[in-house]
Chains A and B, each alone.
Chain A
Amino acid sequence: MKTKTIKMAAILLVSTALVAGCGKKKVEVLPPAAEGTDYGQPQPAPEAPASQILPGSQEDFLQQVGAFGDRILFETDRFNVDAEDQAVLQRQAQWLAQYPNTRAIVEGHADERGTRDYNLALGERRANSAKNYLTSIGVDASRIQTVSYGKERPSALGSDEQSWAQNRRAVTVTVR
């Protein structure tokens, strides 16, 4: 157990160093354990055998798009979809094409460094950016809803750059 904790800490340190070193915007930190069904939390792919995951379910979506494949991250005050985000959204679109009877809700979020109303507006912009890209590559717009949570549902709980980077996000949640 103790070794596991140390290992985990090491992973965190290495990934933090990588992020700091290259200035890449993706923060590949292991997500904290998911609590309840809050979609604000990153959902780790379950370890159960694939045969137990219902094809077309949210669990299936999370497994197919891979770690953090359900979300794209943004710079402070920005809402543009860059090449890296496009790759993430393309995998999401592939899954949505595979299961045409599913719908998706894109949740837009902001970090805690903006005022409440502005952050609601910013979250809505980010969710719409993701939606617009998904529709531009063929997902029917009627299948995608957006909702902004502003700064109300942070994914990472710290008041630091690394947490803020994880919280400026648009997360796709699928609905059957």
Chain B
Amino acid sequence: MSLFARNRKLASFLLFILGTQTAIAQTPPPAAPVSGEPELVEFDTSKTRSIAVPALVAPAPADTAAGNSVALGRQIAEVISSDLRASGVFETQGPNGLRAITLPEVATPQFDYWKSRPVEQLVQGFVLVGGDGNLTVGCYLYDVGFGNETTRLGFNVPPREWRRAAHKCADAIYSRLTGELPFFDSRIAYIAESGPKNKRTKRLAIMDSDGANHRFITNGQSTALTPRFSPNYKSILYLSYVDGNPRIYVYDIDAGRQRLITQSTSPTFAPRWSPDGKTILYSMAVSGNTDVYKIAVTDNGTPVKLTSSPGIDVGGSFSPDGRQIVFESDRSGSQQIYVMNADGSNQRRISFGSGRYATPEWSPRADLIAYTRIAGDFRVGTMRPDGSGERLLTDSWQDEAPTWAPNGRVIQFFRTAKGSGKTSIWQVDLTGSKERQLPTPVDGSDPAWGPLLP
């Protein structure tokens, strides 16, 4: 039997054990052998785990619309490796600097070799081009110490979506090893900035969670601010000065069209979606007085005024169950954080520390609220929804406007440099010990994560 035929046969065996699908949805992992499987213990995020990610094997090299499958095998490994490293809880090796693996190794790793590197976890896989031109990506996670397989997944994707297969694989590994929900397979909307401080060009832009597939949406002729992806990723809420005044628009990504969320001539800002995507929370200034409103997304929704203090009531976000809203108000004399029921009742202050508190955002896991703490400098922090457990995560001149990763375990914000006003996007874990800058083609501000992709 030729090597090629043998590879084919082995690959089809691997496909058989993975099962096949037509969508990006992951294969339910086959029932894992019970014996020897390590118990998942409380994940210690202070300990960095080492993971090796050699290039995925392409047993039958073939060209695709996204390049040759051999190159894709390496690129997918690079994305998996980069995702896991960026999470801050893993130290990754490879694919650069690691030897190429063979197809038989995918199912039967050489544990002794990997132990000697040394490395604790091993990710292996393969890429196969099907008759329909789609890719089948197999992804296997092994515990090198125990010498067994812990997770196995397969994805069938159009070649142009190979990065999503890589993110899905990284998500499965991250979830398996940390016990947390996945978040890599998601997208980010933000404001791309350029130009001098007094005349910044601010464009709405979107990108994958790792900065790839970057796309500008507006051309910069009018200032764009504070975008938010809708829960289904079909549209983006954002503020634009396109008619000369600050107003909130809903931008339909596929149609490339936008509309005002309310026909009022008053300025509207600080837009947020409800978790079910049916309601928009926003702030509106009438005769100088700003209050928080909500409106149904349907074209003829009637605005509902939720606050009525003479001070500035602004911003806010829904709790994940949609029943409560956290917002900011200076009714006490300075900006502080308040919580109310979704109908505006039972408004109560929850921030009582020193300084001012702004831009509250409820975690998708419901357990925490992220905010900007202003005491001269701006710092990003978290507190519980009752105001307890206050914790500052960053320490810089101006760190502003935290938003959450879909799993509620990473916070994204923007950092402004003193003097120049240059901005950059950063991510930090909940301990505040792991901080990293997200690469963007130009300066970036107002980052907002969408949910895990459907």
Residues of A within 8 A of B (CB): 35-36, 38, 40-41, 77, 79, 112-118, 120-122, 124-125, 127-129, 132, 146-148, 150, 152-155, 157-159
Q: Is the CB of A148 within 8 A of B374?
A: no
B residues in contact with A154, CB < 8 Å: 197-198, 421
Closest 10 CB pairs of A and B: A128-B288, A121-B290, A124-B285, A117-B270, A115-B358, A121-B312, A159-B418, A125-B288, A159-B419, A120-B269
A157 contact set on B, CB distance < 8 A: 196-198, 421
Task: Look across to chain B and name the residue whose beta carbon is closest to the beta carbon of A158.
Answer: B419
Cβ of A114: which chain B residues have Cβ within 8 Å of it? 358, 374
Complex: A146 Cα to B202 Cα, angstroms: 22
In this assembly, does B314 line the interface, its C-beta being within 8 Å of a C-beta of chain A?
yes
Q: Is the CB of A38 within 8 A of B199?
A: yes
* 15 examples of A-B residue contacts, CB within 8 angstroms: A35-B198, A36-B199, A40-B198, A115-B335, A115-B400, A116-B446, A117-B283, A118-B330, A120-B285, A121-B290, A124-B288, A128-B287, A147-B246, A154-B421, A157-B198
Residues of the A chain whose Cβ atoms lie less than 8 Å from the Cβ of B416: 112
A116: B residues at CB distance < 8 A = 225-226, 400-401, 446
- Chain B residues with Cβ below 8 Å from A122 are 312
How many Å lie between the Cα of A138 and that of B290 in the bound state? 26
**Do residues A115 and B359 form an inter-chain contact, with CB atoms below 8 A?**
yes
Once the chains bind, are B197 and A147 in contact (CB under 8 Å)? no
Asked whether B446 lies within 8 Å of A118 as measured between CB atoms, the reply is: no
Question: CA separation between A121 and B335, bound complex, in Å?
Answer: 12
Q: Does B267 contact A (CB under 8 A)?
A: yes
A147-B335 CB under 8 A given contacts A35-B198, A41-B198, A129-B288: no
Q: Is the CB of A77 within 8 A of B314?
A: no
A164 to chain B, nearest CB (A): 12
Q: Knowing that A117-B328, A120-B270, A129-B288 touch, tell me 17 more A-B residue pairs with CB under 8 angstroms.
A: A35-B198, A35-B199, A38-B199, A115-B359, A116-B400, A117-B283, A117-B358, A117-B359, A118-B312, A118-B335, A120-B267, A124-B285, A125-B290, A128-B285, A153-B199, A157-B197, A159-B421
Complex interface: chain A residues within 8 A of B288 (CB): 79, 124-125, 127-129, 132, 146
Q: Give, as a whole number of angstroms, the nearest-CB distance from B443 to chain A.
A: 14
Contact check, A155 vs B198: say whether CB atoms are below 8 A apart: yes
Given known A120-B246, A121-B285, A128-B287, contact A152–B358 (CB-CB < 8 A):
no
Q: A115 contacts B200, CB within 8 Å?
A: no
* Contact between chains at A124 and B358 (CB < 8 Å): no
Chain A residues in 8 Å Cβ range of B359: 115, 117
A118→B198 contact, CB < 8 A: no
Q: Which residues of A contact B312 (CB under 8 A)?
A: 118, 121-122, 125
Distance from B327 Cβ to chain A, minimum over Cβ atoms (Å):
10
CA distance in complex: A126, B145 (Å): 65
- In the complex, what's the smallest C-beta–C-beta distance from A65 to chain B, in angstroms? 22
Q: Is B334 an interface residue (CB 8 A)?
A: yes
Of all chain B residues, which has the CB nearest A152? B223
Which residues does chain A contribute within 8 Å of B330, judged by CB atoms? 77, 118
* B109 at interface, CB cutoff 8 A: no
Specify which chain A residues have a CB less than 8 angstroms from the CB of B124 in the assembled complex: none
Within 8 Å CB of A148, what residues of B?
246, 267, 285
